[in-house]
A = this chain, B = another copy of it.
Amino acid sequence: MSELSRKTTLSYNQIAGQSVERLAALSDGVFAVAMTLLVLDLRAPAAEIVHSEQDLWRALVGLTPRLVMYFMSFMTLGIFWVGQQTQLNHVQRSSRSLTWIHLAFLLVVTIIPFSTALLAEYTQYRVALLVYWINILSLGLTLYWSWICALGSNLVKNEIPVHVSKAIKRRIGIAQSLYALGALLCFFNPYWSIALIFLVQLNYVIAPMFGRPRND
């Protein structure tokens, strides 16, 4: 690059992607669409196979595995939406680099409907489970990376105490270790993998509700 264009780049860097509000708004939009698209995999049973109340009931019961996958992926999206929100609440302004790390995070979010559909269709295959796990792992990595970047570039609000930052990092580490453990189980049995990942997620969802006396 010539001197001229390099100077332009630097200058553009200094003005581009500063708005945390717009980053949050785009993220809410992507999460909202991904959460709602997940349901497109739940389809009303075909009319040809339904001739009575019992047929319809049985067809709906047959949708249970897809429903379980749907719950699991909705929890995944919810967990990472809360995680990203928690970070962005502590960031005072964005930078072009931080914006792009969050865009990478959103890219991985948009792939969740695909890997969910894959796992719902091929629950018994290890490959499908590993794709799903890589998707969750990538969510964790990009989110961890974005926090490191925010800290390193002094984009975090001043008043944030050290232990908050540690909590954010340790949180991602522990959760990802449990997910990796779950993924490892697939070499034993893919269904056990799904069960463990499901339970880990459920724990993150429900646990805060039973610790209230101490944390409010």
Contact = CB atoms under 8 A, between A and B. Distances in A.
Interface of A: 5, 8-19, 22, 24-26, 28-40, 42-44, 47, 50, 53, 56-57, 60, 71, 74, 78, 81-83, 85-86, 88-90, 95-97, 99-100, 103, 106-107, 110-111, 113-114, 117-118, 121-122, 125-128, 131, 152-154, 163-164, 166-168, 170-171, 174, 205-209, 211-212, 214-216
A71 B208 CA distance: 36
A154 B53 contact: no
Contact of A36 (B10, B37, B99): B37
A102 B76 CA distance: 15
Contacts of A44: 114, 117-118, 121-122
Given A11-B164, A153-B216, A121 B171 contact: no
Given A43-B114, A152-B212, 11 more contacts: A11-B163, A11-B164, A15-B164, A16-B85, A17-B82, A17-B86, A22-B85, A42-B111, A53-B125, A74-B110, A82-B96
A147 B99 CA distance: 22
Nearest to A216: B153
22 contacts: A5-B170, A8-B170, A8-B171, A10-B211, A11-B167, A13-B211, A19-B85, A19-B89, A22-B88, A26-B28, A30-B32, A32-B33, A34-B36, A36-B37, A42-B111, A50-B122, A50-B125, A53-B125, A56-B125, A82-B96, A95-B208, A100-B208
B97 A167 contact: no
Nearest to A170: B8
A11 to B, nearest CB: 4
A29 B39 contact: no
A145 to B, nearest CB: 10
Contacts of A16: 82-83, 85-86, 208
Contacts of A121: 44, 47
B205 A100 contact: yes
Nearest to A95: B216
B56 A209 contact: no
